[in-house]
Amino acid sequence: MHEINYQPIGIVHSNFKNPEGTPIQPKADKGTEAIIEVFAEYAEGLKDLDGFSHIFIVFHLHLAERKSLSVIPFLDTNSHGIFATRSPARPNSIGLSVVELIRISDNRLYIKNIDILDGSPVLDIKPYVPDFDVFKTSKNGWLENNLHKLETQKDDGRFKIK
């Protein structure tokens, strides 16, 4: 199949300048604020987004390497297939985060609780809707016994592009 091409619609401005020390999920963050700057030519697409308290950010993991299909993820000491993890070192460097939307001012989204590096290109924004997005799982794989590490484990730079 042929390559898929996307044009960034915005950029993330955050205090997380390097992978090392960055929260590994929004849930692991303690109230960090950040800004998504949506480029002026896409600002019209933000109308009514301020009605939602939480939004999906689909972004490009611009500092993540892509080389391996097996990884030792942040929350384990064993190796797993990349698609069985949320590791940033994916074949296609697509990041997915749900963040809290505080307010919108013109083309700037003020958000809270993030795990996104400064300078990340934003590809899409979607409203998070519990009626669409909450599922009851019956199996949580290798993560089941490792979730207690979520609060303390930070990115340690292991997947940073060389």
Q: Is residue 160 involved in binding a second copy (CB under 8 A)?
A: no
Binding pattern for the stretch 4-23 against a second copy, x by CB under 8 A and - elsewhere: xxxxxx-x------------
Is residue 46 a contact residue for a second copy (CB under 8 A)? Answer: yes
In this chain, which stretch among 12-20, 90-98, 153-161 interacts with a second copy, using CB under 8 A? 90-98
Query: How many residues sit in the footprint of a second copy (CB under 8 A)?
Result: 69
Give the span between the Cα atoms of 5 and 3, in whole angstroms: 6
CB of 93 to a second copy, least distance (A): 8
11: tokens are 């950029």
Q: Phi, psi (5° rounding) for residue 44? A: -55, -30
DSSP 48: T
User: Where does 66-139 have alpha helices with state H?
Assistant: 130-133
Residue type, 85: T
Stretch that binds a second copy, among 13-21, 91-99, 154-162 (CB under 8 A): 91-99
Among 13, 33, 35, 54, binds a second copy (CB under 8 A): 54
